[in-house]
Amino acid sequence: MTCHDYKDLMMGYLDNELSDEQRRRFEEHLSGCPECAGELKDFQKLKAITDEVTLVEPEDRIWQDYWTGIYNRIERDVGWVIFSVAAILLFIYGGFKLIETIITDATAGILLKAGLLALVLGLAILFVSVFRERIYFWSKDRYRNVRR
């Protein structure tokens, strides 16, 4: 094994992650390799410095309110979903009612009726096209089953 092969063991040695056998093997290597011994010493100093750094613990209030913050967001999400579904349904219903009224209204001009029908037809084509595209890309997405 070369010194390079001992790099992983050096990290494990530093972080106390080696088995007894690995530790013995690494110490054996260290005794005959001043370069690795020097590198380990530098890492030990660095580790000591890094271990001195601790992060400020937020006030207790933050932890007490933490779940409430999450719950409120979840609740709002549910609220938005219900609101959006209801708004879409009402919009579609209102739209159909409006179209029905205009189409059946004998006094409405033929141009208005044709324009309205063209608008509905255009919207329907756009919707189908976007929907079909989404399905196509979803079925071709190689990463859709990637483990999360």
Residues of the shown chain interacting with other proteins in the complex, contacts defined by CB under 8 A: 7-8, 10-12, 15, 17, 42-43, 45-58, 62-63, 66-67, 69-71, 73-74, 77, 147-148
Is residue 29 within 8 A of residue 6, CB to CB? The reply is yes
Q: How many CB atoms neighbour CB 30 within 10 A?
A: 19
Nearer to other proteins, 63 or 131 (CB): 63
**Min dist. Cβ of residue 25 to other proteins (A):** 15
Nearer to other proteins, 75 or 105 (CB): 75
What SS3 class is residue 136? helix
| Smallest distance from other proteins to CB 32, Å | 21
Select 66 or 91, whichever has its Cβ closest to other proteins: 66
How far apart are alpha carbons 102 and 96 in whole angstroms?
A: 10
- 75 membership: H or E segment, kind and range: helix 60-104
Which residues are CB-contacts of 117 (< 8 A; sequence separation ≥ 6)? 103
As measured in angstroms, the least distance from the Cβ of 23 to other proteins is: 14
Cβ closest to other proteins, residue 21 vs residue 104: 21
Tokens for 39? 């590198």
The nearer residue to other proteins, 37 or 46, going by C-beta atoms, is 46
Measured between alpha carbons, how far is 37 from 31 in angstroms, rounded to an integer? 8
How near is the Cβ of 71 to other proteins at its closest, in Å?
7
Least Cβ distance, residue 108 to other proteins (angstroms): 46
Amino acid at 36: C
